[in-house]
Amino acid sequence: MEKKRIYLSSPTIHGDEQRYVQEAFDTNWVAPLGPNVNAFEKEIAAYTQCGYAAALDSGTAAIHLSLKLLGAGQGDFVFVSDLTFSASCNPIVYENATPVFIDAEPDTWNISPEALRKAFEKYPNPKAVICVHLYGTPAKLDEIMAICEEHHVPLIEDAAESLGSTYKGKHTGTLGKYGIYSFNGNKIITTSGGGMFVSAEEAATKKATFLATQARDPARHYQHSHIGYNYRMSNITAGIGRGQLLHLEEHKARKKAIYEQYREAFADISEITMNPLNPDGDANCWLSCMTIAEGCKITPDMIMDALAEENIETRPIWKPMHMQPVFERCDFIPHNEDGSSVGTDIFNRGMCLPSDIKNTPEDMELIIRIVRGFFR
């Protein structure tokens, strides 16, 4: 008999989604755009207090449009978190700009203010800084924003993983010049695929929406004065997002409970450390992660293999971007004075634990028992 599949982080559908989708079918709004798109934008803007929002087909598109609005291009450098998924930095290359990867720091696993300062010494005039809130934990935004403001460089917040997280009471994604969210299938809420560009600037959001809608000029005929993109969210997927947004706080509470359960379960194992949370923020705990002490005979691969045998899904920590073959010629700015990488160390010693909000008490007990079994 096949063992039950326990997922890393799968979609959780409640039924409200179907109501909005059915509404789209009933009114024949199955074409792109429509009332659900407009309403979803307003609801995200109201929830995050960001100001204005543009619904797109991915978070990657939102980063790309942010860079377009800032005029990034050939000859420009863009500083970006090193410990992240490639979608955070691929759009830099779309615009023929050059990424410079900024190491993580140990306290939150996010972009290191110390490494960021070093990067500005080496490259005084970057076009932008892209800061990722990794696994839903807010970065050290006060320090990062102060550095950016000192050098008059705009900050883009990649809050793809951190919708619902706050830093000193403000939602991640709303503190920089532009912010982005992702609604990919494994995120805290999903539209199956999709993203959102957010800004306090109405004009910038309108420009992003214009570019995302093939940059069609306001003429009766089809006229284009700019290169545009087919980046807009559909009315169907926006309906899913509206239904999901009703349950975001519920999802966040469950994610945080999962993190706490792991933290308590492994508290007596000195070799295990959970991913750190920023005391100045409230993380959505999208994925719970752990690292194993350096020198320990147990490796993340051993644990992931054992869990896989029980049909339990896990994931390695993101492999840092400066280690990726496609970016091997790009510069990397380390956090440590000796030149070693904090992100590489986390990648080598870490793993993501199953963080699906549908995990039953029995599922969690099984996962914890298998992990603990290695440290008897």
pLDDT band (50, 70, 90) for residue 33: confident
* 356-370 mean pLDDT: 98
> Would you say residue 42 lies in a domain?
yes
> Would you say residue 285 lies in a domain?
yes
For 131-171, the pLDDT digits (tens) are 999 999 999 999 999 999 999 999 999 999 999 999 999 99
For 330-354, the pLDDT digits (tens) are 999 999 999 999 999 999 999 999 9
Q: Are residues 150 and 104 in the same domain?
A: yes
For 84-95, the pLDDT digits (tens) are 999 999 999 999
pLDDT band (50, 70, 90) for residue 45: very high
Give residue for tokens 């590489």: 344
Any idea what the CATH number is for the domain that residue 290 is in? 3.90.1150.10
Q: Are residues 252 and 236 in the same domain?
A: no
Q: What share of the chain is helix, strand, coil (3-state, %, to 5)?
A: 40, 20, 45
Q: Are residues 98 and 220 in the same domain?
A: yes
> Would you say residue 8 lies in a domain?
no
User: What's the pLDDT at 31?
Assistant: 76
Dihedral through CA 270, CA 349, CA 142, CA 116, nearest 10?
140
Dihedral through CA 78, CA 83, CA 88, CA 93, nearest 10?
50
> Would you say residue 292 lies in a domain?
yes
> Would you say residue 137 lies in a domain?
yes
> Would you say residue 4 lies in a domain?
no
**Mean pLDDT over the full length of the chain:** 97
DSSP letters spanning 321-341: GGGSGGGTTSEEE-SSTTS--
* Last residue in a domain, options 192, 222, 245: 245
* Last residue in a domain, options 211, 245, 279: 245
> Would you say residue 224 lies in a domain?
yes
> Measured between alpha carbons, how far is 145 from 172 in angstroms, rounded to an integer?
13
> Measured between alpha carbons, how far is 208 from 197 in angstroms, rounded to an integer?
8
Q: Are residues 30 and 137 in the same domain?
A: yes
Residue 306 sits in which domain range? 248-373
Q: Greatest CA separation found in the chain?
A: 73
Q: Are residues 138 and 286 in the same domain?
A: no
Q: Are residues 116 and 157 in the same domain?
A: yes
Q: Are residues 185 and 278 in the same domain?
A: no
Q: Are residues 175 and 255 in the same domain?
A: no
User: What's the pLDDT at 188?
Assistant: 98
Cβ neighbours of 360 (radius 10 Å) = 11
Any idea what the CATH number is for the domain that residue 93 is in? 3.40.640.10
Q: Are residues 153 and 52 in the same domain?
A: yes
User: What's the pLDDT at 2?
Assistant: 86
pLDDT band (50, 70, 90) for residue 32: confident
* 170-197 mean pLDDT: 97
> Would you say residue 147 lies in a domain?
yes
Domains in the chain: how many in total? 2
Q: Are residues 291 and 321 in the same domain?
A: yes
Contacts for 263 with CB less than 8 Å, ≥ 6 apart: 274
% of the chain at pLDDT higher than 70 = 100
For 266-290, the pLDDT digits (tens) are 999 999 999 999 999 999 999 999 9
Q: Are residues 151 and 110 in the same domain?
A: yes
Q: Are residues 191 and 280 in the same domain?
A: no
Contacts for 327 with CB less than 8 Å, ≥ 6 apart: 89, 99, 101, 321
Q: What SS3 state is found at 138?
A: coil
* Last residue in a domain, options 208, 230, 245: 245
Q: Report if pTM > 0.85.
A: yes
pLDDT surpasses 90 at 118:
yes
Alpha helices in the chain (DSSP H): 16-26, 35-48, 59-70, 90-94, 113-122, 141-150, 202-212, 235-245, 248-265, 300-309, 342-349, 361-373
Contacts for 227 with CB less than 8 Å, ≥ 6 apart: 215
